[in-house]
């Protein structure tokens, strides 16, 4: 989907609905605006339920200052105006009050943008705007000062966040990523000390292998391939709804019986992916006109080395990721279902998946279907897409339970003898 072909009023409906549905704003809070090519500002209205906005509710403040629409513009119109005045390069402004970011705004500290390479890539810098009365010109000035410095992400003291971008999808992507990292840091600090990455660590992730593959032109699509595309789209959308993915982060792949495989595309909005966006990779070549996910060569190596693996999921489920960014042990020997599906989870040192595909791939096996890549992601494999997805859900659910358990008492682990009984009962191999 190319956002530039969608009318500004419809974009405002689309993104406000998405923000509201994900619990990132309340009925009365938050506002969005888009500056169109004629210099008119389209903005969400004041005093209308954010959960049921339509395109006719949107307000257009024309370049000459006249207002077109059935409602008043948002009460925060002054700071939207200030941002566009300070930064003519920005064409979309997003403001909301998601709980995790509001927590940071109350504590008046920024979340750590250096915990994950994917976050630092999307959110490079953040500043804090001094508190002022909501809707006031003073608040507009305080926010505008941060934007004039070239910063696109501003935390409003005791209020929320304001993000500017060249288009609304980019603003949303930054917003969702920021909300994700805020939630992650809060969870990680409940179980340990989150570790930040330095510049040289980030440099490791800049490989562009996924764009250097040769192309092939597919001359047919088997029903096996079409079914796999359909099943991937179903689970990718579900993963997005469940928070296992953000808009552009997260990779799924599925092996086909001819040895080729299907993989998610690079940098495309996961919420609206269609069957024809999925990229087929065959004999080291990619389907013509498509760009596969950056992890494509690692997935290719894993399929080569492990004939029993038919699906690979690489994701960032927030509770599991709290263990990925700290040294807190993630122990599956706490819940039988978790041990049966995931076995003991290995931790792979940061960066290895970028520089050593073979070594990373060699970590997997029948007794190791899932790993955690420090300060990066989790990778889960399966004999089928559904089995891999189940494992991913179980990992996230287990992580959630372990984090919560520490609040109600001491964690009791399943004993070695009890694990041996599970291995016999479920015929688990080492
Ligand atoms: Zn507000």
Mean pLDDT computed over 41-58:
90
Output b/e per residue, 100-134; b: 16+ Cβ within 10 A: bbbebbeeeebbbbbbbbbbbebbeebbbbeebee
CA of 152 to the centre of ligand 1 (A): 17
CA of 286 to the centre of ligand 1 (A): 45
CA of 207 to the centre of ligand 1 (A): 39
Question: Rounded distance, CA 324 to CA 318, Å?
Answer: 9
CA of 92 to the centre of ligand 1 (A): 16
CA of 156 to the centre of ligand 1 (A): 9
CA of 75 to the centre of ligand 1 (A): 9
pLDDT digits (tens, 9 = 90+) for 292-313: 999 999 999 999 999 999 999 9
Mean pLDDT computed over 88-109:
96
Sheet holding 160-165, edge to edge: 67-68, 59-61, 41-43, 31-35, 92-96, 160-165, 153-156, 127-129
Who surrounds ion ligand 1 at CB < 5 A?
160
Q: 178 in helix, strand or coil?
A: helix
CA of 95 to the centre of ligand 1 (A): 7
- Mean pLDDT in the chain? 93
Residue of 52 and 384 predicted with greater confidence:
384
Mean pLDDT computed over 212-234:
94
Is the dihedral angle over the CA atoms 19, 21, 25, 28 positive or is it negative? positive
- Looking at the predicted structure, is the pLDDT value of residue 318 above 90? yes
Residue with tokens 């064409």: 91
pLDDT of amino acid 3: 80
- Looking at the predicted structure, is the pLDDT value of residue 66 above 90? yes
CA of 79 to the centre of ligand 1 (A): 10
pLDDT of amino acid 267: 85
pLDDT digits (tens, 9 = 90+) for 169-178: 999 999 999 9
CA of 264 to the centre of ligand 1 (A): 35
Question: Rounded distance, CA 230 to CA 126, Å?
Answer: 39
CA of 118 to the centre of ligand 1 (A): 27
pLDDT digits (tens, 9 = 90+) for 256-280: 999 999 999 998 888 889 999 999 9
């Amino acid at each position: 989907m190319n956002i530039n072909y969608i009318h500004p009023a419809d974009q405002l409906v689309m993104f406000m609905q998405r923000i509201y549905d994900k619990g990132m704003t309340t009925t009365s809070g938050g506002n969005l605006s888009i500056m169109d090519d004629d210099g008119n500002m389209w903005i969400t209205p004041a005093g209308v339920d954010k959960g049921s906005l339509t395109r006719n509710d949107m307000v257009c403040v024309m370049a000459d200052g006249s207002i077109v629409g059935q409602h008043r513009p948002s009460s925060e119109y002054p700071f939207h105006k200030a941002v566009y005045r300070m930064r003519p390069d920005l064409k979309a402004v997003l403001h909301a009050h998601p709980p995790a970011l509001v927590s940071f705004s109350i504590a008046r500290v920024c979340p750590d943008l250096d915990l994950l390479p994917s976050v630092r890539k999307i959110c490079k810098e953040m500043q804090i705007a001094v508190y002022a009365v909501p809707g006031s010109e003073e608040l507009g000035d305080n926010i505008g000062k941060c934007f004039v410095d070239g910063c696109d992400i501003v935390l409003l003291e005791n209020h929320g966040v304001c993000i500017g971008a060249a288009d609304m999808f980019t603003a949303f992507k930054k917003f969702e990523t920021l909300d994700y990292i805020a939630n992650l840091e809060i969870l990680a600090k409940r179980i340990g000390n989150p570790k930040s990455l330095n510049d040289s660590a980030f440099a490791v992730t800049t490989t562009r292998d996924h764009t250097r593959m040769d192309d092939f032109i597919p001359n047919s699509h088997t029903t096996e391939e079409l079914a796999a595309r359909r099943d991937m789209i179903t689970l990718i959308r579900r993963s997005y709804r469940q928070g296992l993915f953000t808009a552009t982060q997260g990779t799924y792949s599925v092996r086909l019986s001819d040895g080729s495989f299907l993989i998610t595309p690079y940098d495309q909005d996961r919420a609206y992916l269609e069957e024809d966006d999925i990229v087929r990779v065959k004999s080291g070549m990619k389907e013509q006109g498509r760009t596969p996910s950056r992890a494509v060569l690692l997935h290719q190596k894993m399929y080569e080395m492990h004939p029993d693996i038919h699906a690979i999921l690489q994701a960032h489920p927030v509770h599991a990721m709290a263990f990925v960014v700290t040294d807190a042990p993630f122990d599956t020997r706490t819940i039988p279902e978790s041990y049966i599906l995931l076995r003991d989870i290995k931790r792979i040192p940061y960066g290895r998946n970028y520089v050593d595909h073979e070594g990373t791939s060699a970590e997997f096996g029948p007794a190791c279907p899932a790993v955690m890549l420090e300060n990066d992601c989790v990778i889960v494999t399966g004999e089928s897409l559904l089995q891999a997805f189940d494992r991913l859900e179980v990992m996230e659910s287990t992580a959630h339970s372990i984090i919560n358990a520490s609040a109600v008492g001491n964690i009791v682990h399943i004993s070695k003898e009890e694990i041996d009984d599970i291995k016999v009962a479920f015929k688990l191999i080492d």
